[in-house]
Amino acid sequence: MSATIVSLDLDPEVPLSQQGPAPARVVAGFGFWLFLLSDIILFAALFATYAVLSSATAGGPTGTELFDKRHVFMETLCLLASSVTCGFGSLAVARTDARAMYLAMIATFVLGAAFLWMEVTEFAGMVSMGAGPSHSAFLSAFFALVGTHGLHVTLGLAWLVVMLLQVATLGFQPMVARRFFCFGLFWHALDIVWIGVFSIVYLGAH
Amino acid sequence: MQADSPAQGHSPGVATGSDPHHGRSYLIGLGFALVLTAASFWASSTPLVYARALPVLIAVLAVAQMGVHVAFFLHVSSAPDQANNFLALAFGVFITALVVFGSLFIMANLDHNMVSMDQLMQMQR
């Protein structure tokens, strides 16, 4: 645990032209930021599909009949809380404070898993009611959009477990800290996508 | 000197290297996000909001909450040392708007130009 993160702060005494290329953490952060924006464009395509098809219910159940706003509100709170605990976890990684990091990141995992569990129960309930993705264009678009978000959350949870194992085995090396930092960006971006999902899909249901 | 040397950049997600108030930004963000989320869920289930204005209200609240998340959780701002991140974000928002509004516009236009099913039945007779 003796290794610490390379400081991000530039030395103000050295002129910029003599500081060389940007530090790895800045480059990695920017590259991952570009990936996240491309991922959000993927979601934009799914949102557009959903918006076009949301009234094509083919005589099947509509959104207002299927969605339970209280359930969605709980999901939203779980994801929001997990985003905040993830932020505190990232701060703990920056301080190389292992205890605070485990505490915050395990809370993030539990809240993320709770979100996912609620989503899976919702999907299972809809499919058992006969409102599966094959029932209408509206439901296909719904499962594609919300399912892709859920898949991202699943992958995020798997990534979090890998990061916790890396900290446990490798310690807070600069490389591990960079990855953990990218995980934090990913998790916050998923929460931003979820704002779009609950606003357009669940609250905009008609 | 650092203040007027924006070229080195700054990754998103980091407020400033060793800002002691960094943790506070997550709590401020949480407060704003909770208020905005509660407001949109409340607006969608109350009869007090004019029904036809509801989608606009929810969209405004959603955009505001996304802004809160970007500023307080991702710590992306229009500060000079964040020019790269901010430009990338602006481009992402531009493409997203193009995809969403472009698709809606094109599909509405196609729908408008399409012969309705009733008329099609008439023509086949």
Q: What is the ipTM of this complex?
A: 0.84
pLDDT at A7: 45
Q: Which ranges of chain B have pLDDT less than 70?
A: 1-10, 13-21
- Average confidence (pLDDT) over A71-92: 94
pTM: 0.86
Condensed to tens digits (0 to 9), the pLDDT of residues A89-135 reads 999 998 888 999 999 999 999 999 999 999 999 999 999 998 889 99
Find the length of chain B: 125
Report helix, strand or coil for A172.
coil
Q: Give which of B21, B27, B35, B74 to mutate to test A binding, by max A Cβ within 10 Å.
A: B74
- Average confidence (pLDDT) over A29-55: 94
Closest partner CB to B23 (pick from A29, A91, A181): A91
Q: Give yes or no for A30 touching B (CB within 8 A).
A: yes
CA B97, B33, A77, A71 dihedral sign is negative
CA A172, B20, B28, B81 dihedral sign is negative
Q: Give yes or no for A19 touching B (CB within 8 A).
A: yes
Distance of alpha carbon A1 from alpha carbon A93, whole angstroms: 11
* Contact of B45 with B57, CB cutoff 8 Å: no
The tokens describing A11, both together, are: 């030395």
Distances, alpha carbon B118 to alpha carbons A56, A77, A97, B114, B115, in Å: 17, 47, 69, 11, 8
- Count of A-B CB contacts under 8 Å: 140
Lowest mean pLDDT across A17-21, A149-153, A155-159, B50-54:
A17-21
* Contact of B81 with B6, CB cutoff 8 Å: yes
* Contact of B26 with A88, CB cutoff 8 Å: yes
Q: Give yes or no for A25 touching B (CB within 8 A).
A: yes
Nearest chain B residue to A83 by CA: give it: B73
pLDDT at A182: 93
Q: Rounded mean pLDDT of chain A?
A: 89
Report helix, strand or coil for A60.
coil
Distance of alpha carbon B83 from alpha carbon A39, whole angstroms: 21
Residue with tokens 């605990």: A85
Percent of chain A at pLDDT above 70? 93
pLDDT at A189: 95
Contacts of residue A8 in chain B, CB cutoff 8 Å? 10-11, 14, 17
pLDDT at A10: 59
Nearest chain A residue to B5 by CA: give it: A16
The tokens describing A118, both together, are: 């609620």
Distance of alpha carbon A45 from alpha carbon B74, whole angstroms: 23
Whether A1 has a pLDDT exceeding 50, the answer reads no
The DSSP 8-state label assigned to residue A119 in this structure reads: H
> In 3D, which of A24, A45, A65 has the Cα closest to residue A182?
A24
- Average confidence (pLDDT) over A72-95: 94
Distance of alpha carbon B83 from alpha carbon B103, whole angstroms: 30
Distance of alpha carbon B37 from alpha carbon A135, whole angstroms: 31
Whether A75 has a pLDDT exceeding 60, the answer reads yes
Whether A4 has a pLDDT exceeding 70, the answer reads no
Minimal C-alpha gap between B59 and chain A (Å): 7
Closest partner CB to A30 (pick from B9, B22, B44): B9
Condensed to tens digits (0 to 9), the pLDDT of residues A154-203 reads 999 999 999 999 999 998 999 999 999 999 999 999 999 999 999 999 99
pLDDT at A11: 66
Distances, alpha carbon A58 to alpha carbons A36, A72, A131, A137, B67, in Å: 35, 25, 11, 7, 36
Determine whether the interchain pair A80/B103 forms a contact, defined as Cβ–Cβ distance below 8 Å.
no
